[in-house]
Amino acid sequence: MTEIQAADPGARKMALLIVAIILVIGILLLALAGIYQPALEAWLLGETALAQQKVNLILFIFAALLIPQLIAAVYFWRFGSAVTRAGRFPPPNYAVIRDIPVVEGQKAMTRGRIIKLLSVVFGIGFLGIPIMFWLVSRAIFGS
């Protein structure tokens, strides 16, 4: 009979809380972007702002994009490593938000490697954003 890892109600509540907080922050950021877009465009296209201020703003935006990429890459690498180390998915002592059958052996190792591959994809995105920043700033402000 397949072992079932029971859901942790506390983990489910925490996951829902995190999703709700991220959703509210996203909605607020979209609302603020809509409100301040005309002023920001005028500032960027106008002569009142120094070129360095414009570069700093774009650098801040790209840096803000890097934080979730880095968090995701580190989390997935650690989780995938825990799966491959334990030879079990989900790894022991990891809370799950719903009852889930435990997978062991080669299938678990494959899942762990896929999760680590996902981490590498996020890592490539993390490295790609600064390259994109450099290309965009060169296109906007010249070399």
Give the CA-trace dihedral at 45, 51, 57, 66, to 10 degrees: 120
Q: 87: left (phi > 0), else alpha (psi -120 to 50), else beta?
A: left
pLDDT given for residue 52 in this prediction? 76
C-beta of residue 48 within 8 angstroms of C-beta of residue 134: no
pLDDT given for residue 143 in this prediction? 60
Count of CB atoms situated within 10 Å of the CB of 126? 19
Summarised one tens digit per residue, pLDDT across range 37-74 is 888 788 777 777 677 777 777 778 777 878 888 999 99
CA angle 120-75-27, nearest 5°?
A: 100
Summarised one tens digit per residue, pLDDT across range 30-42 is 999 889 888 878 8
Which phi and psi (to 5°) does residue 7 adopt? -70, 150
Kindly give, in sequence order, each residue whose CB lies less than 8 Å from that of residue 76, ignoring residues fewer than 6 positions away.
115, 116, 118, 119, 122
Q: What is the pTM of this model?
A: 0.76
